[in-house]
Structure 1
């Protein structure tokens, strides 16, 4: 197994991280205290995201925030025993939704501590595959400090893959007036130092919660768990070696036609409430067709007004390769998907 190090930056990145590690622990049979369930016999699949410490396991990750409110919840939460205390790094003053504070001033005060912990994590890996960075484009820490750290990662580990899962500003939902400025500055850095950036936005996720999941009062826990499902499926090939799945590095190879155009859109299916789950038609063809419907996309765009350059579909579960090939051929015949000419 090739190890992957996760870096959760800012309030959004840390909250998404909590949902992700909760899901990873369920999938790998790990208790909140790091102990392994007796039912899980395949310890090798754990080693991508977890490292053994005695008889327990701890995630290969860092929580990083310039203020401690969110991280104090992690330190006192039900999963507090799972995380190494040195890997939860918080400052004393937040970036106030200002890119410059995260990049030039407050962020530079803790970047050395973060780099030291990353070096320790890397030294404990046998074959490091790359980094996965979780953050938001609009926040001061998520934009400014992420840009600073990505530069250091590029300089120190230039040959390792650097993937990002990022919350992009929504067209209508906005919390602070500086979001567009933070986003432009962070995107400029991401063009240079990130290999692939998977983007979602809160407005599309809110719509999925209310329209597809029948949650009249959805919250960020619901949204973060949706994002965690996507991240779990994208990284599943690096964590389990069952079947013919794409490797972690193959995403940037197949989804990035030009180095600077590396912002894939995320879509997920099936999406339905628990009450409707038993009555939905969930065969390979219907799930695949749902993927290309705008209601299943996790970012607010109109796909019919553009063209696709490349697509990766990840199937998970008891799916027959024959059904997959038949479904893909039907999509091609029906011309449901519009590709660029070349």
Structure 2
């Protein structure tokens, strides 16, 4: 059984992490959360995939994860949930209250350069211990927001350092040899104007993408505007961030069910088929009834199921993970429909399927009622429209050098990094456009 390590950075990443681990605890029948002692078979429940057993206390398990935020409220948030009290190691919850008065202030430069000195050494040591305690490590997964200072800057610094400190053997990928990395995927919340909390978000996102792009295989993208629409589609009239975060948690849970009860590595390595095309769009479909004789491609890929603000495009590669009352008949039917009703870049279907009979858990039945779900990870040219808009916002500000001094002066970031990040994003857009054409 491969073991997973999760890193949760920034306020958004940490809140997603808390929700996600509450979901994992219920799915894997974590002993402290199980009502039926007969279900506490640790081998059957695959606890070792996500949890380390305590060496001090019997039948106590600790989540294999780390939380970091420059806002000290993360200490309170992780202790607020009854499920969290026993499953999170206190030493793996890191915030400035343990050191000094750090504050990323929604500034990439500050978030990036906070990661130095004693505190940064401590964070890396905690990650190193988790890696060393694994018998067969599968991958490291990261949750964060690209718009915030910690989520963009601190995450970029961490990913860069870990990619170079824990190098794996060279692999042949995208036509040339590259250094493999243990961080296969980031689950990244992209900024949107509707939910903007900082004028620096375009800078933060573009610069962070530059650092992350080179050091992970897949960037699973989400945005709050699309998440809000998806919540409304689920019957929630006025969705809040907690409910949006839970949709992301269900996405991650469904995708990682393949390594918890199968294999995630193939998914991460198959979706990005080009070095510059590794930003994955996501859709999440909840079906009350799977006995239908025909699955509607239009319904499955509608805007109401999308986790991204993206226009129509062509698919480069796709992974469809199903949980619940599904069978191979569903994959065969869906495959046939995709061949005739969907656009692939090379005119041939490039989709893979996974089925888990273990259905989704309902942590918040008052808000959501998940029964049979599909997670579609879609590497598609439709992301181009969003990236072009992000680049337009970046150029509009940078052409006037607006607020550059906040990141360069206050944050200590070199201004050359703006140009490099901008060119990297332009190259990514050009790459996706070539597939579209």
Q: TM-score, normalised by structure 2?
A: 0.70
**Structure 1's 49 and 186: CA in aligned 2 closer, same or farther, altered over 3 A?**
same
2:323 maps to which of 316, 320, 340: 316
Is 1:108 equivalent to 2:116 in the alignment?
yes
In structure 2, how many angstroms separate the alpha carbons of the residues matched to 1:5 and 1:240? 16
Secondary structure in 1 matching 2:329: helix
Q: Work out the number of aligned pairs and report it.
A: 324
Greater shift after overlay, 248-257 or 31-40? 31-40
Residue 298 (structure 1) aligns with:
307
- Between Structure 1 and Structure 2, the one with more strand by share is 2
**Structure 1's 68 and 310: CA in aligned 2 closer, same or farther, altered over 3 A?**
same
In structure 2, how many angstroms separate the alpha carbons of the residues matched to 1:128 and 1:14? 22
Is 1:163 equivalent to 2:185 in the alignment?
yes
Secondary structure in 2 matching 1:164: strand
Secondary structure in 1 matching 2:316: coil
Secondary structure in 1 matching 2:236: coil
Shift of residue 130, structure 1, vs aligned partner:
1.5
Q: Structure 2: state its 5+ residue gaps.
A: 169-181, 348-437
Q: TM-score, normalised by structure 1?
A: 0.89
Residue 129 (structure 2) aligns with:
120
C-alpha contact 1:3 1:48 (8 A) present in aligned 2 = yes
**Structure 1's 282 and 164: CA in aligned 2 closer, same or farther, altered over 3 A?**
farther
1:45-84 aligned at under 5 Å gives the runs 45-53=46-54, 54-78=58-82, 79-84=84-89
| Deviation sequence 1:247-299 (CA, Å, 0-9, x none) | 2111232101112311110001027xxxxx5xx67648437653311211101
C-alpha contact 1:34 1:81 (8 A) present in aligned 2 = no
Is 1:339 equivalent to 2:344 in the alignment?
yes
In structure 1, how many angstroms separate the alpha carbons of the residues matched to 2:183 and 2:266? 10
Shift of residue 121, structure 1, vs aligned partner:
0.8
In structure 2, how many angstroms separate the alpha carbons of the residues matched to 1:288 and 1:238? 27
Q: CA RMSD in A?
A: 2.1
- Larger Rg computed on CA atoms: 2
In structure 1, how many angstroms separate the alpha carbons of the residues matched to 2:20 and 2:36? 18
In structure 1, how many angstroms separate the alpha carbons of the residues matched to 2:116 and 2:293? 49
Q: Structure 1: state its 5+ residue gaps.
A: 242-246, 272-276
Shift of residue 188, structure 1, vs aligned partner:
0.4
C-alpha contact 1:168 1:200 (8 A) present in aligned 2 = yes
Residue 244 (structure 1) aligns with:
none
